[in-house]
Amino acid sequence: MTPGATSAPARGPVTDVVIVPGAPLLLPEYRGRAAVAPDVSESCVEAVRSAVATASHVVVVHATDREPRSTRPPVGLRVADHLLAASHLDFDVEHVAVAWDATTAECVALGSALAAEGQATTMLVVADGSARRTEKAPGHLDPRAAEVDDAIVAAIRGCADGGLARLLDLDPGLCADLLVAGRAPLQVLAAAAGQVPLVVGSLDVSDPFGVLYVVAHLTRAT
């Protein structure tokens, strides 16, 4: 099945995780003729390609748009499908949408379902950090953003020591104030893979537009 299609649920143990930002600049229709933040785009393509290289089943976890402006699918879903298509590989794809303002309990329930026994699964999680990191950020500067973003990065970096579980400590209300679009998908990830022995294969962190972008490939420890 080609990327973009949705297969019947066949969820199972998480073997790989790839985290990418839900940045519209990753979509061709937003880039125009000039490449915008090419390093971010290249990192995303490479991380996804590496994560799905041997995958037979990919679960895409993305949030709904906070302010839907059309009948088009959420930006996160479109970014994921674009990056999967760029891998030029064949695998089953299942889309899992979580409300951007889902409670932590709702995220845990969804993540726990994804962790149910079955075939091996690669997770593609579309998640931004705060969009309030600088004065020129979409939400302008909020001094609280740095601490929350640092916690997100530290949790991902510490995945080998159970760090992903700390993503469940993210406060939904505070994250909403700070425009952390990826809070809910990250908490789904924490519930699905927080107890899986993962190690960091690659990790790139940037904020070219005052928005935290994390591009990471986490692999199962051997």
pLDDT digits (tens, 9 = 90+) for 94-112: 999 999 999 999 999 999 9
Residue 34 pLDDT level (bands cut at 50, 70, 90) = low
Percent of the chain with pLDDT over 90: 80
Containing structural domain, residue 80 = 14-220
Q: How far apart are CA 188 and CA 63, in angstroms?
A: 10
Phi and psi (nearest 5°) for 53? -55, -35
126 within a domain of the structure (yes/no) = yes
- The domain that contains 52 carries what CATH number? 3.40.830.10
Helix (H, G, I), strand (E, B) or coil at 33: coil
CA distances, 163 to each of 124, 141, 158, 160, 187 (Å): 18, 27, 5, 7, 12
Domain count, the chain: 1
Q: Tell me, what's the pLDDT at 1?
A: 39
More confident of the two residues 8 and 133: 133
- Of 71-75, 198-202, 209-213, least confident by mean pLDDT is 71-75
pLDDT confidence of 35, banded at 50, 70, 90? low
Decide if 63 is inside a domain: yes
Whether residue 6 is contained in a domain is answered as no
pTM for the full model? 0.92
**23 within a domain of the structure (yes/no):** yes
| Three-class SS state of 212 | coil
One-letter amino acid for residue 185 of the chain: P
Q: Is residue 182 one of the residues assigned to a domain?
A: yes
Does some domain include residue 2?
no
pLDDT of residue 32: 63
What mean pLDDT comes out for the span 82-100? 96
Is residue 206 situated within a structural domain? yes
- Encoded tokens for 220: 């199962």
> CA 115, CA 118: separation in Å to the nearest integer?
9
Short-list 198, 190, 201, 200, CA closest to 220: 198
The answer as to whether 1 is a domain residue is no
pLDDT recorded at residue 117:
55
